[in-house]
């Protein structure tokens, strides 16, 4: 399907506001959107949300022959899928130019940074080695797929466990998950991609562009870096000239972003590990918990409006402070349509893994009409959530 064109008025408005240091969603120029990392029940499955952009990465492995040129190494495949689900303009099957660029960059980021110890994937030199495959599926495209995909890929690799193997002479046994604990891949470091977009001949620079900002940008620079200040990838596209200072500034911004994100990934991994060891519920099921039928919700737009808030609203202002201090779980803001009033007494009897509609009889169809007044009164009591602060600061 054809992509929705960008109208002149949108283009002018966005460019004008960028030149006045304002963004549509109220972020500052160097702010990331809200980042959420979640892991699935299966090992090596990672779901990352960056604002409304969503990416799912899944790592899998199989035993195969190593490459003839590198008989002591395992093999790493990286595959990026852009389905029409993410954006109607992406075509099924055929890789677009954008898709090829994306998968090449991801491959460069993961393979050429040598973050994964390939030799540890070798079972018998020249005969058997592990083939590790990272499948990255873009679920929704709202700009900056690249950063989101790189976070998802590296988190999935860190989360993945491969079956243990023992070699006894000629005999190779692959132990099932029940026999022996699976072993993690040895990751040396975590390279992450940070993209910078440039406007007005490189005069203005933005981090984490939204899809509309990507449409009006003049050029893009992608910096791949790990938290040890090691540059892994660098790519510049578009028609513009960049000054040396600008490049250096980008790399220093990238460093702070990468350290923050790496911390977040480790925190998410820890949380998942703890939940697993304690036998608590883990995986994506946690995301749909909340003991209610989740109809629709809008994510909270976080804008620092502290200086504009009244003193009595101070508590709200402080919660909207940092861009990247998102929690691993989803902080539920239930914005339900009138279609599914939350007072409709859908009772969830057991607190199990959150399956929608679990427990309790459905009372959807016979909601008594007299209740509407009570419902309105009840609704008022719910804490109104601070979503309205979507103003450029």
Partner 1 sequence: MAAPIGNVVIPGDSFSLMQLKTPDEHKKILLGPGLKEEDTEIKVLRPGILRYRKPGVYWVDCHHKRYVPSKGDSVVGIVNQKVGDMFRVDIGSSEQASLSYLSFEGATKRNRPDVKVGDIVYAKLLVANKDMEPEIVCIDSYGRSSGMGVVRNGGFLFHTSLNLARKLLNPQCVLLKSLGNRFQFEISVGVNGRVWVKAGNDIQTIALVNTVIASEFKDNDQIKEMCKRISKAVSRMEVD
Q: Which residues bind partner 1 (CB under 8 A)?
A: 1-2, 4-13, 16-17, 20, 22, 24-26, 296-298, 301, 305, 307-310, 313, 335-340, 364-367, 369, 376, 379-380, 384, 387-393
**Contact between 186 and 120 (Cβ < 8 Å):** yes
Q: Which CB sits closer to partner 1, 70 or 292?
A: 292
- Nearest CA among 23, 30, 114, 3 for reference residue 323: 30
CB atoms < 10 A from the CB of 270, how many?
11
Rg of the chain in Å (alpha carbons): 24
Cβ 216 to partner 1 shortest distance, Å: 12
Q: Which two tokens stand for residue 28?
A: 């500052």
Burial, 377: exposed, middle or buried (Cβ in 10 Å; 0-12, 13-18, 19+)?
Answer: exposed
Cβ 6 to partner 1 shortest distance, Å: 7
Q: Which residues of 38-58 are buried (b: 16+ CB within 10 A; e: fewer)?
A: bbbeebbbbbbbbbebbbbbb
Cβ 22 to partner 1 shortest distance, Å: 7
**Contact between 17 and 392 (Cβ < 8 Å):** yes
Q: Which CB sits closer to partner 1, 168 or 311?
A: 311
Q: Which CB sits closer to partner 1, 168 or 337?
A: 337
**Contact between 293 and 359 (Cβ < 8 Å):** no
Cβ 57 to partner 1 shortest distance, Å: 26
Cβ 231 to partner 1 shortest distance, Å: 36
Cβ 10 to partner 1 shortest distance, Å: 5
Cβ 217 to partner 1 shortest distance, Å: 17
Q: In the beta sheet, which residues pair with residue 233? A: 224
HEC secondary structure over 32-97: CCCEEEEECCCCCEEEEEECCEEEEEEEEEEEECCCCCCCCCCEEEEEEEECCCCCCCCCCCCCCH
Q: Which two tokens stand for residue 143?
A: 């700009």
Q: Which CB sits closer to partner 1, 314 or 391?
A: 391
Q: Which CB sits closer to partner 1, 171 or 315?
A: 315
**How far apart, in whole angstroms, are the C-alpha atoms of residue 117 and residue 373?**
64
Q: Which CB sits closer to partner 1, 179 or 313?
A: 313
Q: Which CB sits closer to partner 1, 139 or 253?
A: 139
Q: Which CB sits closer to partner 1, 20 or 350?
A: 20
Cβ 213 to partner 1 shortest distance, Å: 13
**Contact between 35 and 237 (Cβ < 8 Å):** no
């Amino acid at each position: 399907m054809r992509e929705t064109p960008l109208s002149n008025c949108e283009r002018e408005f966005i460019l004008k506001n960028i030149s006045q240091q304002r963004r549509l969603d109220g972020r500052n120029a160097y702010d990331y959107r809200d980042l959420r990392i979640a892991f699935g029940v299966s090992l090596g499955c990672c779901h990352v949300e960056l604002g409304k952009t969503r990416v799912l990465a899944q790592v899998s492995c199989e035993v195969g022959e190593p490459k003839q040129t590198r008989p002591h190494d395992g093999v790493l495949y990286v595959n990026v899928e852009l389905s029409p689900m993410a954006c109607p303009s992406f075509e099924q099957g055929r890789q677009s130019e954008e898709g090829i660029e994306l998968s090449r960059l991801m491959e460069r980021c993961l393979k050429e940074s040598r973050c994964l110890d390939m030799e540890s994937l070798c079972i018998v030199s020249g005969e058997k080695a592990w083939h590790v495959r990272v499948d990255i599926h873009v679920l929704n495209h709202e700009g900056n797929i690249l950063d989101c995909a790189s976070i998802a890929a590296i988190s999935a690799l860190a989360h993945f466990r491969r079956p243990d193997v023992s070699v006894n002479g000629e005999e190779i046994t692959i132990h099932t998950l029940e026999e022996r604990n699976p072993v993690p891949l040895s990751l040396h470091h975590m390279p992450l991609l940070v993209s910078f977009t440039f406007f007005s001949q490189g005069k203005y620079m933005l981090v984490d562009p939204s899809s509309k900002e990507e449409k009006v940008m003049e050029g893009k620079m992608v910096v791949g870096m790990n938290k040890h200040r090691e540059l892994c990838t660098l790519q510049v596209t578009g028609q513009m000239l960049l000054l040396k200072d600008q490049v250096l500034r980008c790399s220093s911004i990238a460093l702070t972003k990468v350290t923050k994100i790496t911390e977040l990934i480790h925190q998410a991994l820890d949380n998942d590990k703890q939940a697993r060891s304690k036998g608590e519920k883990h995986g994506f099921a946690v995301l749909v918990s909340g003991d209610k039928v989740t109809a629709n919700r809008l994510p909270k737009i976080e804008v620092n409006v502290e200086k504009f808030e009244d003193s009595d609203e101070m508590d709200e202002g402080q919660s909207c402070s940092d861009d990247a201090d998102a929690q691993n779980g989803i902080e539920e803001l239930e914005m339900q349509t009138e279609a599914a009033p939350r007072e409709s007494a859908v009772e969830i009897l057991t607190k199990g893994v959150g399956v929608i509609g679990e427990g309790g009889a459905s009372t959807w169809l016979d909601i008594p009409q007299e209740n509407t007044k009570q419902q309105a009164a009840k609704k008022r009591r719910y804490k109104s959530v601070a979503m309205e602060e979507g103003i450029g600061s």
